[in-house]
A and B are shown apart, each in its own frame.
Chain A
Amino acid sequence: MKVFIVLFFLLASFFDGRCQQKKLFTKNGIVTFYSKAPIENIEAHNNKLLSVWDMATGKVEFSVLMKGFEFEKALMQEHFNENYMESDKFPKAIFKGIIREPVNSFLVKDGTFNVTVSGTLTLHGVTKEVNVPATISIKNNEISAASTFSVKLADYNIKVPRIVKNNISNIILIKVIIPSYQPLGS
């Protein structure tokens, strides 16, 4: 009897299209960051976040180009790249992690699921361990994801001069949105 139950689940997973898509990716994720300080609020966005998710292992990776962040004001963008992030020296921010929860078992029906992604964030040449809350949604076989978390500039050796300490927050809020993952290779 047990053999039949195991066989049934194996066959069911074989015929489920989502399980055949072992690796998912997107090149069109959106990263937005916000700095709220007494003198001004700063916001920048990047619409070319690359993410690869291995559904079999739960491993997930995100890469973003620092020079791809667009600001409302040119001066902010120049200061961000030249003075704070040193984007010529450190052109990418990379997150490598693993989704703790057994997501494959959730993603058999439509819904939104809360997960925690543990891993390392490399920013400005500094790698730190982070735990990030995220939501993964599935609707009509399309998988999307979102996350909001904060980073402390000091943790990544990003120095803000005293003269602009009221212009830039020490803690930056980061929002990540993946509108849709596609099977890798499509």
Chain B
Amino acid sequence: MLSKKSFFVIAVFFILIMVVVYAYNEYHREPLNVEDVKSDLSVTATEMTQAFENDETSANEHFLGKIIDVKGTVIEVKNQGDTLVNIFLGAANKPGKVSCLIDETHTKEALKISPGSVHTIRGVCTGYLMDVELNRCVVIQ
């Protein structure tokens, strides 16, 4: 039979181990792969660009940092080296675009996409410069 003191020491030891394992895993946690999670929002490229063009502050509150599924016509596929592929989504004859920087592990599939086709891309919204910007993107449809 364990004494109260021994039980306490063993309990503290296990708690300490759990804390160390949790801290180690947290410290080494890799950035999220958006393919493995559900999106926070689904919008069209036109809705998203209009929201930022009309009121950037309010659009930031709504979209910034969120995982978003954006549907739109592929305007351009830009390949800047082997690991940097940008797909621009928009609507034909409209100026606003959503610039989707494809996750490095998904560039091969992305390069098969042709302008003019309609796709849904999932990514993390980082804000608005000349276009609406999405990072770590994956083509999901």
Contact = CB atoms under 8 A, between A and B. Distances in A.
Given A48-B99, A68-B126, A27 B30 contact: no
Contacts of A70: 31, 135-136
A119 interface: no
B64 A74 contact: no
A112 interface: no
A51 to B, nearest CB: 10
B70 to A, nearest CB: 16
Which interface class (under 10, 10 to 19, 20 to 34, 35 or more) fits A? 20 to 34
A74 B130 contact: no
A74 B30 contact: yes
A63 B29 contact: no
A180 to B, nearest CB: 10
Interface residues of chain A: helix, strand, loop or mixed (majority): mixed
Contacts, number: 65
Nearest to B65: A67
**Most chain A C-beta atoms within 10 Å of own C-beta, residue among B32, B60, B99, B128:** B60
A136 interface: no
Interface residues of B, number: 26
A33 interface: no
B28 interface: yes
Contacts of A91: 60, 64, 127
Given A27-B130, A50-B130, A88-B65, A74 B29 contact: yes
A67 to B, nearest CB: 4
Nearest to B31: A74
B140 to A, nearest CB: 20
A77 interface: yes
A81 B84 CA distance: 23
Interface string A67-105: 110111111010001000001100110000000000000
A47 B84 contact: yes
B29 A68 contact: no
Given A48-B99, A68-B127, A88 B31 contact: no
B101 A47 contact: yes
B77 to A, nearest CB: 14
Contacts of B61: 88
Interface string B98-141: 01010000000000000000000000111111110101100000
B127 A67 contact: yes
Contacts of A75: 26-27, 29
Nearest to B56: A91
Contacts of B80: 28, 179
25 contacts: A27-B99, A27-B130, A28-B80, A28-B84, A47-B84, A48-B101, A48-B126, A48-B135, A65-B127, A65-B128, A67-B65, A67-B125, A67-B127, A68-B126, A70-B31, A70-B135, A71-B31, A73-B28, A73-B29, A74-B29, A87-B64, A87-B65, A88-B61, A88-B65, A92-B129
